[in-house]
Amino acid sequence: MTQRALFQLAFNSICKTMRLTSEDVRKNIGSRALQPVGAARLSAWLSQKEDEYRIVLYQSDATLTPWTLRCLRQADCVLMVGYGDEAPDFNDIGKFLLGTADKLRGRKDLVLLHKLSGPNVLTTRTWIDAHPWISLHHHIACPDRMFHTRLPRLSQSGLRPRAATMDFPHTADKHSDFSRLARILTGTAVGLVLGGGGARGFSHVGMIESLLEEGIPIDMIGGVSMGAFVSALWALYRDLPEVRRRCKIWAQSMGNPWNVFREITYPYMALFSGKLYNQFVRAGVGDVQIEQLWIPYFCASCDITDVALRVHTRGDLWRYARASMTVVGYFPPICDPEDGHLLVDGGYMVTKMSPLPHHHR
């Protein structure tokens, strides 16, 4: 499969990598190695390969075979791969993981494949809810030809035409989703955290442009205050002209004197009502969930109900980005639909932030 080859190519660009299948085992040490009588020999052979290669990718069978069970026990990280535009369909491997996932020593991650021309992750929440044992989920954009499984029609001569030769890269694209996943799994990912600063926060767009010009990939992103908004735009679109365009629209809307006048209200909680503010933020990022973003994203807010820092990695993108941008006295707090707590700008509590938060909600 082309996806597997691209995945291995991405790992090879980081370190020496080998991919093993049950067929490789049969060719090298015989089919008896997959039986209980050959377990010791198989363990010794796998240990030899793990000493020879820094990373070994164990590709399981399509069903729950002895080799699949060996892969699940041997791996430090188990990747469950599915199609992002389809609902999860449990086979015997999925059912086995549901009952024994907590007993496996390795980390369990979910990888969802998506078409470039298809919808953007419509069933992510369904996949996550159906697999409560996963640690992280990853979105991978694949060419549409990778999803074609039908055989070509017979020609007039009765023979199937030869498949067209696919242009296959010899080196991994460091900005591809496969390379991003490989870096995350190997602990070499690049995370970008954007701070606040009001209108000055739009300078983050120029910094992102500079990173891309230098060939530095952005594997995960997050921020606080205005940085939460700009980072949300990048995680959603991953297109610099589109991010710049939406930032410009947002700045023009917020700077319009008529909009400012319409927002003024009786200052019971804040000087402005926040209705237009909500609309502008929502228009910028749309009605998507944080789980739907192409790359891992987080934003931070201050919970004034519990006086605590909140780091958001799932839920409504616009709502939590807006919460992270809520300046006390100017705009009313955002009510978290999960617990009813009031959230304001995370800059009131954040001095240092990590792109891999441990506590999130």
Q: Give pLDDT tens digits for 339-359.
A: 999 999 988 876 544 444 444
Q: Whole-prediction pTM value?
A: 0.83
For 31, 109, 181, the CA distances from 118, given in Å and listed in that order, are 41, 23, 20
Residue of 118, 230, 128, 215 lying closest to 175 (CA atoms)? 215
CA distance 6 to 189: 18
Asked whether residue 162 carries a pLDDT value surpassing 60, the answer given is no
Which residue did the predictor score with more confidence, 176 or 157? 176
Domain 1-148+174-186 has CATH 3.40.190.90: no
Instruction: Name which residue leads in pLDDT, 293 or 261.
Output: 293
Most confident of 123-127, 137-141, 210-214, 259-263: 210-214
Summary mean pLDDT of the chain = 83
Q: Which residues of 285-305 are buried (b: 16+ CB within 10 A; e: fewer)?
A: beebebbbbbbbbbbbbbbbe
- Amino acid present at 206: G
Topology agreement, domain 1-148+174-186 and domain 191-345: no
Region 208-225: mean pLDDT is 93
Beta strands in 121-164 (DSSP E): 136-142
Going through 34-97 in order, the beta strands assigned E by DSSP cover 55-58, 77-83
CB 210 within 8 A of CB 236: no
Tell me which of 321 and 131 has the higher pLDDT.
321
Query: Which residues, 6 or more positions from 154, have their beta carbon under 8 angstroms from its beta carbon?
Result: 160
Q: Which residue has the tokens 């004034």?
A: 304
For residues 193-215, give the mean pLDDT.
90
> Region 308-336: what's the mean pLDDT?
92
339 CB contacts (<8 Å, ≥6 apart)?
A: none
Catalytic residues: 225, 345
Q: Which amino acid is at 97?
A: L
Q: Are 19 and 53 in contact (CB under 8 A)?
A: no
Inform me whether the pLDDT recorded for 208 exceeds 90: yes
Looking at residue 215, its amino acid is G
Looking at residue 147, its amino acid is F
| pLDDT for the residue 180 | 93
CB 203 within 8 A of CB 32: no
In this prediction, residue 149 has a pLDDT band, given cuts at 50, 70 and 90, of low
Assigned CATH topology for domain 191-345: Cytosolic phospholipase A2 catalytic domain (3.40.1090)
Residue 171 vs residue 70, higher pLDDT = 70
Place 122 in a pLDDT band, splitting at 50, 70 and 90: low
Higher pLDDT, 120 or 299: 299
* Complete edge-to-edge strand list for the sheet that includes strand 77-83: 77-83, 107-115, 136-142
Contact of 251 with 228, CB cutoff 8 Å = no
So what's the pLDDT on residue 164? 38
Distance of alpha carbon 148 from alpha carbon 126, whole angstroms: 24
Of 132 and 361, the one with more pLDDT: 132
Residue 305 near residue 295 (C-beta atoms within 8 A): no
- What are the domain boundaries of the chain? 1-148+174-186, 191-345
Render pLDDT for 237-248 as a digit per residue (tens, 0 to 9): 999 999 999 999
